[in-house]
Structure 1
Amino acid sequence: MAAKSIKELSPEESEQLITVLKKRFEKNRNRHIGIDWDNVQTKLESNTEKLWSLNEMEKTGGEPDVVGHDEKTNEYIFYDCSAESPKGRRSLCYDREALDSRKEFKPENSAIDLANEMGIEILTEAEYRELQQLGDFDTKTSSWVKTPSDIRKLGGAIFADFRYANVFIYHNGASSYYAVRGFRGSLRV
């Protein structure tokens, strides 16, 4: 008998997660107009590793939901849709280089490393702005967003939030971390 993959949910866990995702899908129809849940569920059931990643998003407070469908690749796009930056993904510096550069008071992990471990991508600035078209997110917190390499080479990283009815993009040293800053992820299934 083959050993169970680390990145695979039990049948019970899969069923439980799909139930949670379906309820969220039905409750927030404005996020995925024209998308049929049965098609999403079929994709989820045939992609066990992606289902595992969605479970990681859920476990860390991301409340993932469908926000689109890529017609070219026939993939459904999930974003973290929690009102605030996911609680289980805060107090992280931006990436491994930033984490390694800290001499003291190192956070437990970096946003990029944790996203990689979870099998998801950090939202880009454009994706973050798309998310904000679906509701008001990060009104009290902020989220790291994928930082362009020219900014990162100079030691910086960018993050975003929503204040005064606008999306704001800011910069900070990549090694900084705050209790109210996490990251939001995306996953294609």
Structure 2
Amino acid sequence: MVNVKKKLSPEQSEVLLRTLKDRFEKNMSRHEGLEWDKVQVKLETNTEKLWSLNEMEITDGEPDVIAYDEKAGDYIFYDCSAESPKGRRSVCYDHEALESRKAHKPHNSAMGMANDMGIEILTEEQYRELQQLGNFDTKTSSWVQTPANIRKLGGAIFCDRRYDTIFVYHNGAESYYAARGFRGSLRV
């Protein structure tokens, strides 16, 4: 098995940190009271997390700090792109759903991609928290973590924002659509 290092080059790290800093400063309402310098120090000492943030960025997630967990000492990043990240659409829910498709399989699953990226898919509660920070997924939708009892029966849930309301829907976990992706979270 090949051991893939999840570490960015110094140049990649510099570019990503500059991008994250710019986004942080342009969206202060998402993280009032937090200081970029403290976030950057934490990022520079967690290179694998920085790699995960880069994966979020290159799939068009536009990660940004949305909170600080004082008890754990973690900064919390969510994908804050206006619509479900373009680089993570047209995927079914999980590996089991992907394997169940006999024809026209998508290239991956949401849970598989999230695992490969080192991030977690948002829960419904986290999705609703994100929506308090702006209007997201007004033209797309995003898979969210599905309760085991629903998944056991073959379903999965996703959310979007329409008519200034957050909707939660269900679909077969094996389904996939060009306008549905997933949003992730990362603790650093």
TM-score range, shorter chain: over 0.9
Partner of 2:35: 36
Indicate how the Cα distance of structure 1 residues 47 and 172 shifts in structure 2: closer, same or farther if over 3 A, else same: same
Please tell me the root mean square deviation across aligned C-alpha atoms, in Å.
0.9
Pair 5,105 (structure 1): closer, same or farther in 2 beyond 3 Å: closer
Q: Equivalent residues in 2 for 1:34-183 (5 A)?
A: 34-183=33-182
Deviation, 1:72, is 0.6
> 1:88: how far off?
0.2
Query: Structure 2: which amino acid aligns with 1:82?
Result: S
- Measured against aligned partners, the alpha-carbon deviations of 1:139-184 in whole angstroms (never above 9, x if no partner) come to 0000000000000000000000000001000000000000000000
Q: Which amino acid aligns with 1:161?
A: D
How many Å apart are 1:35 and its aligned residue?
A: 0.6
Equivalent position of 1:188 in the other structure: 187
2:166 counterpart letter in structure 1: V
For the residues of structure 2 that align with 1:69 and 1:146, how far apart are their CA atoms? 22
SS at match of 1:127: helix
**Separation in structure 2 between the aligned mates of residue 76 and residue 115 of structure 1, nearest angstrom:** 18
**Structure 2 stretches lacking a partner, 5+ long:** none
> Partners in 2 of 1:169 and 1:71 — Cα distance?
30
Match of 1:7 in 2: 6
Residues 101-145 of structure 1 deviation map (CA, whole Å, 9 limit, x = unaligned): 000000000000000000000000000000000000000000000
**Counterpart code for 2:100:** S
CA–CA distance in structure 2, aligned partners of residues 77 and 53 of structure 1: 13
3-state SS of paired residue (1:76): strand
- Looking at structure 2, the residues matched to 6 and 85 of structure 1 have their Cα atoms a distance apart, in angstroms, of 27
- Amino-acid identity (%): 73
Counterpart of 1:106, as a letter, is K
**SS of residue matched to 2:136:** coil
- Aligned counterparts of 1:188 and 1:94: Cα–Cα separation in 2: 22
Indicate the SS of the match to 1:99. Answer: helix
For 2:109, the aligned partner's letter is S
Q: How many aligned residue pairs are there?
A: 186
**1:6 shift after superposition:** 2.2
AA aligned to 1:153 is: K
SS at match of 1:57: helix
Offset of residue 5 of structure 1: 5.5
TM-score, with structure 2 as normaliser: 0.98
